[in-house]
Structure 1
Amino acid sequence: MRKTIAFSVSGLLLGAVFFAFSLTPSLIPRPTFVQGILSGVAFTIGYSCGVFFRWLWRYLQIPDIPLTLQQRQWLKRLVAAFGACLILGFLWQSTHWQNSVRVLMGMRAVSGGSPVTIGVVSLVVFLFFRSMGKGFHRVVLVVSARLQKSIPDRVAILAGLLVALALYWSLLSGVLLKLGLYTVSIFYEQLDQITAENLPPPQDPYKTGGSDSLLSWGSVGREGRRFMSLGPTAEDIWEIAGEGVDPIRVYVGLHSAETPQQRALLALEELKRVKAFEREILLIATPVGDGWIDPGAVNSLEFLYRGDVATVAVQYSYLPGPIALFTDAQAIRKSARALFEVIYDHWEGLPVGTRPRLYLYGLSLGAKLSEGSFEFFDVIDNPIDGALWAGPPFSMSAWRLITDNRDPGTPAWLPQFKGGEVVRFGNQYGGYLGREPWGRFRIAFLQHASDPIVFFDFRWAYRRPEWLECPRGPDVSPDLRWFPVVTMLQLLADFYVGDTPRDFGHRYTPAGYTLAWVALTEPPDWSEAELQRLRAKLKTLSKR
């Protein structure tokens, strides 16, 4: 006799609801494959909740509604029909919902979705997790059955559960995770050592990586070589501003010295050698995980100050940001703090009238590390000039504290804090507003209302986000609705930026950085017409 595969009716019903809600829009457009994975995970969670509620109902010994076998069969068919209609109806509407996001971002509307692809991918994801769950359940049963001979049943079940948890955890974290991290680490370490043929060492011995430099060209890593080679030249700046000098860029690679402290000291000595402390602006830039620094952020500042800028950065990892933070969070925080302390201690000892203005910059994880590189009470007597933090991740403590305590009546996606005396927020459309004059020490947050890495929060599993209140950000779909658990999953899926156009989501542009630097630093002698030409030039440079 053929064995049938039994599914929970309550699980299928709740799974269908979660699946349908996962098709509604979120902050950025989702590719079909990503949507399939998201919907499969949502269905799995809904199904698991349905199974759990059914188990709890029986555990509490609540009597079932008395139904005949035939009535139960009809109920199952009714539930299946309702779930199918719900899923099909939402799939039919999903293209419209995705276009509601695409239109806001200036993307071409799509004419039809891929319901078959979404369904197949979702089914594969569900069956994978279901097989994992079945295996887990099997381990619990086998272990508890052996233990029930000598200990009470409930204790045996608990012991079986603990054994299954330990087994699965050791398999996932101890074997698969370590193997994955090792493979990724080897790949990115080799990638970091690649020297592109079109990026030879600088011919000028004065420049970092040149013949007189304290840093060898090979030691600064792939991203360091790109950062120091592809910035604007004095000729580029002259073309827009009518005058200019070559900016100074110093980048210390992970292989330039053994420890974070040694790399920070090496950066300081190189800054002294190239006379960086004689420039008008000194920028400490904290890269993302693999050492990348958004060129638009630094390029725009260098143009605004006609090249009279020195930028220093130290690589702390060659892994992507989340993996770097997961593998060695303490070491990368130590690296950012070491660089700031070494640079700040030297800068603080310089004559106030002749030393450069000191700013910090970081994007995403770089913003989080830049924030943690100093304590406010360490610099309160002699503060730096300010910081620009772009795309601040939701886990950034200062951003969260300020946003949660914003001035009444200001939106969560563009808040004001204490009248804007110290901290101001802006986006690709402007902002940086305040009721009070902006003081000498300034912090600017550049964030898009459609950036899921900024506005994600685990609380959205059970609480409606405040950034959904009206007025919403101009790049947030009016069709976006909050659903318990599902909205949080959608924002997690949005971490995959995919084909999101620049100036939306977690992709920041030179134009947005220019607005931020103008507000933060107030560069002199720039007309609106000149700024327009600058934006066009920066757009050209970003294609290098």
Structure 2
Amino acid sequence: MESLIAAGRKALASFYATLCGAGLILGALFVAASLTPSLVPRSSLTQGVLSGLCFAAGYALGAWLRWLWRRLGWPETKGPWRARWLGLMLTACVVAMLAALWWATTWQNRLRARMHMPEMDGVGMLTTATLAMVVFAMLLIAVRGFGWVRRVLSRRLKRRIPAPTAAVLASIATVLIFWTLANGVLVNVGMRMLDRLYSERDARIEEDLPQPLDALKSGGPGSLLQWKTQGRQGRRMIADGPDRAGIEVVTGHPALEPLRVYVGLGSAETPQARASLALEELVRVGAFERSVLVIATPTGTGWVDGESQRALEYLLHGDVATVAVQYSYFASWLALLSQPEYGVETARAVFATIYEHWRRLPRERRPRLYLHGLSLGAFHSDRSHDLAQVIGDPYDGALWAGPPFNTPTWRAATRMRDAGTPAWLPRVRNGEVMRFTSQRNHLNDGHERDARWGRYRIVFLQYASDAVTFFEPGSLWHRPDWMQPPLGPDVSPDIVWIPVVSFLQLAVDLMVAVSPPKGYGHTYAFAHYVDAWAALTGPSAWWTDSRIDALKQHAHP
């Protein structure tokens, strides 16, 4: 046993000797910085993963700086002084990490208070530290494995070709080997497993969602769509909405039965075939005889936010039809990675098919046409058409909630915002076409009294704490505009920009953006949809401010 312990100590000492001192110092500082708050409150597990990634990034940067220092031939501290300085610096880094851990709970609780979340007792020091070391060790092993393969290949190639050429070819070959293993083996196997998991979940028919008996419902009697092919999210969209009686009870006003059409992936083979099927079903149920028609582009899983649907149907007393066509059953980030253009192809087919039919109808008899989407749905909805396609006869407007950071129209509008308006709530050309809002209704704030919001209107509903919208790739090297004061009401006042670390924080926030409660992060609330749809569609004068406030409280207190 003693021999095993001695061998273990020797192996550990040998491993420690191979570590880069500069990398450890910078890595430790990055870990301390990772404990500062970002957009989304973190659990101990999330913090552990983030700290591990930051440790690896800091270590890599420190090792590269040491390599550059030596390549430039600059002087180095050697002998006992080097060990003393290294020990002193590491001790200072440990003190910095302990101080950050001490403050981390306070930082997280300040952010949680802004989102009306319960306080946490601590950041889970043991869990965070253990997980951080595991993540760092896995990344270090992967990088060292890469280096070992490259060196082996380089030594073998040197026997036949000059050393510089051998080194270059060995590096290229190693990249190809690792890429093939990662993308060709691990990713493909993982995607097949996820495809099976998500497809089975999408096909599962839940007992609490019975097939509708109303002929106006998709999947009901006389429908062109089969209930079983509409997918899990499609069946939920059809079954979950308020009916005519429910709307009348809540509003105290006569109502119509709201129309919802959903075409699942299994309903037809191609995007165009599904789009054509959607149009036929819309015509069958009389959707073009309603006052408003909405083309809702779903998220990657096929989900259409029921909070938004209910808000619009209450406001219009059921005089509205909504259509959605599924393009994927993956989570949005997986859909974006695995099928980046398929969602756009479907969105364009759906828009073109329905828009062309709508455009041919007499203007005085056709419904107002709006586009809608949340998250990846907003991204694809924005790309569903181009200016030349609609400029002669534009649709009426769009409500895009939580648009991803790379949504073209959102990026352009934020970039060209009026001077003095914050990036998280911009004003664009005095709100003549596009307006932005958040938790509080800002759709009439900061606009001139005589500024006319034209017939064509675009509303962006976004929360300042939404990492899906405010992730910024450039945060790797510069502070994002939305970090400039004044900060959003749901953003921590303790947030700071730190090169590299802030980028990793926002990347992790992106993965857990739906963890905050409704009204924060990437989880949008009924009341805020009510404000957005009311401003966009201009419902009847019956809806006074007091009645709208009562709707928010009555339907979703």
Superposition TM-score tier, normalisation by shorter sequence: over 0.9
**Which residue number in structure 1 is paired with residue 437 of structure 2?**
426
1:519 aligns with 2:535: yes
1:173 aligns with 2:188: no
Counterpart-to-counterpart distance in 1, 2:190 and 2:122: 36
Alignment deviations for residues 122-174 of structure 1 (CA, whole Å, 9 cap, x no partner): 00001111111111110111111112223332322222221221111111111
Counterpart-to-counterpart distance in 2, 1:538 and 1:296: 10
**Which residue number in structure 1 is paired with residue 472 of structure 2?**
457
| Structure 2: 5+ residue stretches without partners | 1-6
| Helix, strand or coil at the partner of 1:410 | coil
**Which residue number in structure 2 is paired with residue 149 of structure 1?**
159
Match of 2:408 among 397, 404, 410: 397
| Helix, strand or coil at the partner of 1:127 | helix
Alignment deviations for residues 263-319 of structure 1 (CA, whole Å, 9 cap, x no partner): 111111111111110001100000001100000111100100000000001011111
1:57 aligns with 2:69: yes
Alignment deviations for residues 160-204 of structure 1 (CA, whole Å, 9 cap, x no partner): 221221111111111000111110001111111111112111112
Counterpart-to-counterpart distance in 1, 2:328 and 2:415: 32
Q: Check the 8 A contact 2:216/2:259 in 1, yes or no.
A: no
Counterpart-to-counterpart distance in 2, 1:212 and 1:499: 41
Match of 1:295 among 292, 303, 306: 306
1:10 aligns with 2:26: no
C-alpha RMSD of matched pairs (Å): 1.3
Q: Check the 8 A contact 1:202/1:210 in 2, yes or no.
A: yes
Counterpart-to-counterpart distance in 1, 2:504 and 2:555: 36
Task: Return the TM-score normalized by structure 2.
Answer: 0.95
Q: Check the 8 A contact 1:105/1:475 in 2, yes or no.
A: yes
Counterpart-to-counterpart distance in 1, 2:118 and 2:325: 40
Q: Check the 8 A contact 2:436/2:462 in 1, yes or no.
A: yes
Match of 1:74 among 84, 91, 97: 84
| Helix, strand or coil at the partner of 2:556 | helix
**Which residue number in structure 2 is paired with residue 160 of structure 1?**
170
Give 2:367's aligned amino acid: P
Match of 1:307 among 296, 314, 318: 318
Match of 1:440 among 413, 438, 455: 455
Counterpart-to-counterpart distance in 2, 1:55 and 1:303: 64
Q: How is 1:75-474 mapped onto 2 (pairs within 5 angstroms)?
A: 75-241=85-251, 242-433=253-444, 434-435=447-448, 436-474=451-489
Give 1:44's aligned amino acid: A
**Which residue number in structure 1 is paired with residue 3 of structure 2?**
none
Q: Check the 8 A contact 1:299/1:538 in 2, yes or no.
A: no
Q: How is 1:497-508 mapped onto 2 (pairs within 5 angstroms)?
A: 497=513, 499-508=515-524
Give 1:149's aligned amino acid: R
| Identity %, equivalent residues | 45
Counterpart-to-counterpart distance in 2, 1:52 and 1:123: 20
Counterpart-to-counterpart distance in 2, 1:91 and 1:239: 52
| Helix, strand or coil at the partner of 2:520 | coil
Give 1:450's aligned amino acid: S
Per the TM alignment, residue 375 of structure 1 is displaced from its structure 2 partner at its CA by 0.8
What is the count of residue pairs matched by the alignment?
538
1:491 aligns with 2:509: no
1:529 aligns with 2:541: no
Moved over 6 A (4+): none
Counterpart-to-counterpart distance in 1, 2:544 and 2:429: 30
Alignment deviations for residues 240-274 of structure 1 (CA, whole Å, 9 cap, x no partner): 22211110000011011111111111111111111
Alignment deviations for residues 67-123 of structure 1 (CA, whole Å, 9 cap, x no partner): 3x2212212211221121111111111101111110111112223221111111000
Match of 1:24 among 36, 39, 51: 36
Give 2:178's aligned amino acid: Y
Q: Check the 8 A contact 1:264/1:342 in 2, yes or no.
A: yes
Per the TM alignment, residue 498 of structure 1 is displaced from its structure 2 partner at its CA by 5.6
Counterpart-to-counterpart distance in 1, 2:514 and 2:326: 26
Task: Return the TM-score normalized by structure 1.
Answer: 0.97
